[in-house]
Amino acid sequence: MRTAWEIADAIAAGSLSAVTAARECLAAIEEYDGDVNAYTVVLRDEALTKAADVDRRIAAGERLGPLAGVPVSIKDQIWLAGAPATNGSRVLADFRPGTSAVAVDRLLQADAVVLGKTNNPEFCYRGVTTNELFGTTRNPRDLSRTTGGSSGGAAASIASGMAHLALGSDGGGSIRIPSAFCGVAGLKPTYGLVPTTPGFRGWPSLSVVGPIASNVHDLALAMTVLAGPAPEDPTSVAPPRPLDFLGAAHTASLDGLRIAASPTLGFAELDDDVRGAFERALDTLRRSGATIDLAHPDPVDVCALWDATGLPEGNAAQGQLLADRPDLIGADAAAIIEAGAGISARDYLDAQAARSRFTTSWLRFLSEYDVLLTPTLPVTAFAADRLGPATVGGRAVPDGFDAWCALLLPANLAGLPAASVPISPPGALPVGMQVVGTRFADDVVVRAAAAIERLVAGPDAASSERHGGRAGSAQA
């Protein structure tokens, strides 16, 4: 399967037409999406019209954007003008925004070809992808298993060859969870690096927009387009130094990097297969010459800290919708909305003070290390009909809002860049390694992730797994 950067190069060189690239993905959607259910809407006519325009402009000698002709998918929750943006809820089934999110506009201005919108859980509230409006998205590696969430449709579109870049969002692991479960690469950028508006209110202090792709080089290509401030989003800021994403992906080296690793961050449980994959990957990195210290910041109850921020922000975003149309909101989403109703402004501000102390601890740790490596998730993909795993490390998962995703929450709470890159061999259920860096060191994270991709799996293994994923979805 060609990568996004290979497609962009071939189209620019005239050896591949944008229409052909779009038709290949549309054919994959027709073949696989009946089983996978990644897309909420397929914009076939619009995609082919845009692809034909790209071909016409290239033939006329025009200079196009860096994503010219690359087929992309957009998470349902992220606004694309004129296309449905339901946020996975029946209460928003008829909503079509009149404007696009800045990140989507940047993809379009880079001449990408948008194939459609992809599924997410209701209001992006879960680490799996299912809702009452569109149903369940299934993992292309094994259709009996979950994709994870909330950008589950986005990751599934990549893992099954139904898109070559996907735009997702991440407020509590929502890019990294499905990337790990589906065996693809995903990047949660530094908070503020990629504009998130216009769009739904969601979790405004936690959530970011970022790319999912089959490989780290494609993530870097996407970030060259997505990164940078915009007046439409006053929380977006310019990085303190230029970020060379493509140079970082090309370097793909751990040389000179100060690396820490922790399988548990001092508080998590792991299933044996995840622990084994993580330790084997660390051994491979050490054999390549990397020096890796086993270290982590001081452990904190990150689930309680995240809940104290995310639940009241969610109630502020969707509380009125629930009050107005409770019949059109699912019971699970309603319970999560209601959980934030009793948190006062004083409690919220107290939580932000605690969050500031937590962030300071992580930033101090990351002043001593360039990257921190952890497993992305403590488990492999579980059954598609579950909201979470029953056990982790042989112990029952505690009650709470997706407590099994706790390894991912520090990056959201502290606004840090974090990538997930596959580390399991072809044929095994995917396991991801999370690469966390300090704020606005997104290119350092990309460099380390590209090195891990090269050293642990290698290009041949990565290509084999991608092809195996598509074959698996066809046979299941």
Q: Active-site positions?
A: 75, 150, 174
Residue 319 corresponds to which amino acid?
A: G
List, as one string, the DSSP characters of 249-278. HHH---TT--EEE-SSTTT----HHHHHHH
Whole-angstrom distance, CA of residue 108 vs CA of residue 99: 13
Torsion on CA atoms 122, 123, 126, 128, rounded to nearest 10: 50
Count CB-CB contacts under 10 A for residue 294: 9
Four-residue CA torsion sign, 285, 288, 290, 292:
positive
Whole-angstrom distance, CA of residue 112 vs CA of residue 416: 27
Q: Do residues 417 and 436 touch, judged by C-beta distance below 8 A?
A: yes
Four-residue CA torsion sign, 240, 208, 183, 18:
negative
Helix (H) or strand (E) holding 90: none
Q: Do residues 153 and 73 touch, judged by C-beta distance below 8 A?
A: yes
